[in-house]
């Protein structure tokens, strides 16, 4: 998974898989889900990220047992 924050557009993008985007859907205002041909989520885009997430420039990794 990759995370990219663009401060110029205030957009946070989480890339979950490296497949071409076939379709996009704005699930809720400001939250866009990108899908591949099979309907799998490829990435998540969060618009106005600085207002929606605690710190869009910081990524913490949590490992489960």
The predicted-structure confidence for 13-22, as pLDDT tens digits, reads as follows 999 999 999 9
Residue-number span of the structural domain to which 23 is assigned? 2-52
Position 59 in a domain? no
Q: Count of domains in the chain?
A: 1
Residue 34 lies in a domain: yes
Q: Quick one: which of 10, 16, 17, 9 has its CA closest to 53?
A: 10
pTM of the model: 0.85
In a domain, 64, yes or no: no
Within a domain: 25: yes
Q: pLDDT per residue over 22-62, tens digit each? A: 999 998 999 999 999 999 999 999 999 999 988 888 888 88
H-type alpha helices, 1-65? 49-52
- Residue 47 and residue 13: Cα distance in Å, rounded? 9
């Amino acid at each position: 998974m990759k995370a990219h924050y663009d401060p110029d557009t205030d957009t946070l993008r989480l890339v979950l898989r490296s497949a071409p985007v076939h379709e996009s859907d704005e699930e809720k205002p400001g939250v866009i889900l990108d899908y591949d041909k099979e309907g799998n989520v490829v990435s998540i885009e969060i618009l106005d990220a600085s207002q929606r997430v605690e710190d869009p420039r910081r990524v913490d990794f949590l490992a489960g047992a």
